[in-house]
Amino acid sequence: MGPLDEKALHELEDETLFSLQSAVQKTHVSPLGVGFTNFRVRDLKNVVYSSIKIVVFSTKLNLLMPFGPLAILVHNLTGHRGWVFFLSLLGITPLAERLGYATEQLAFYTGATVGGLLNATFGNATELIISIYALRSGMIRVVQQSLLGSILSNMLLVLGCAFFSGGIVHYKKQQIFNKAAAVVSSGLLLMAVMGLLFPAVLHFTRTEVHFGKSELALSRFSSCVMLIAYASYLFFQLKCQHTEYQPLNEETGPNQESDIVDEEEAPEITKWESTIWLFVLTTWISVLSEYLVNTIEVDIYILFCRD
């Protein structure tokens, strides 16, 4: 029985030693895990604070942001449509600018082509959201006037300002542009103008085969054609002919690297921060756009009831 007692004693000592080691490991691992969790939470708070500081407090135009919640407050307390319309308009202005900023930050991670498409898409997000709410409320005339103003401003005001400012900045140089990109953009613009022009011609000349139906059918057909053309343009931009849209260099020519390395701007926020801000800003613009359109709807109803 002596060897058996010694063997049992050794097994008991091994089990005791193993349990002590496990307890020590648990004692040391637990504070480390808590510290790591606290570090991650603190790091996340720093990222959120830095992102809010950059996006919200980096421009003076954001001083107009409080007018958005103020418009909702005025609507719920007084219901004064004039003030709600004015305050909503002021509140949307900085949000639209910050939406463009978030799109530009996201373009640093997606490349020039995708970034340009994102900028063009989200640059018109405010107008698109307001138009959707207006269509849901049956205000077709408001949408038509909005489209007309957008077309005139982009074709005349924006293009003219670009030529004028470019001539002032580069007054000693000859301004150049990419011919292939200009031809594609001009073709799409011409298609959009024709899609709006042909139904209008049918309406004002009264040359429809069936009154009202021919105009509506042509309008729907034109909208489908323009959607297909835009989808084809996106596919062409993203999948094909990347070299045709590289910027031209006056000294070395197209598609050649220059010896002078320009200092590129660095992104101020990360890709995920840009995506989250796009979602937040678009949602907030949608809320204020609903209040904005509702004031127009009530005023139109009162105007027609009085007439």
The pLDDT value given to residue 67: 92
> In this predicted model, what pLDDT tens digit does every residue of 43-100 receive, in sequence order?
777 878 888 888 888 888 888 889 999 999 998 888 788 888 889 889 998 988 888 8
The answer to whether residue 44 sits within a structural domain is no
Give dist(CA 124, CA 137) in Å, integer. Answer: 20
**Quick one: DSSP state of residue 154?**
I
Report the candidate in 109, 106, 138, 134 with the shortest Cα–Cα distance to residue 122: 106
The answer to whether residue 254 sits within a structural domain is no
Domain that holds residue 153: 49-171+179-243+269-305
The answer to whether residue 18 sits within a structural domain is no
The answer to whether residue 1 sits within a structural domain is no
The answer to whether residue 37 sits within a structural domain is no
The pLDDT value given to residue 45: 77
> Which residues of the chain carry a pLDDT beneath 50?
1, 4, 7-9, 12, 17-18, 20-36, 250-262, 307
The answer to whether residue 290 sits within a structural domain is yes
Q: pTM to 2 decimals?
A: 0.65
The pLDDT value given to residue 191: 86
How many structural domains does the chain have?
A: 1
The pLDDT value given to residue 38: 54
Query: What is each CA distance from 66 to 61, 73, 290, in whole angstroms?
Result: 11, 11, 17
The answer to whether residue 221 sits within a structural domain is yes
Token couple for 214: 């021919």
The answer to whether residue 255 sits within a structural domain is no
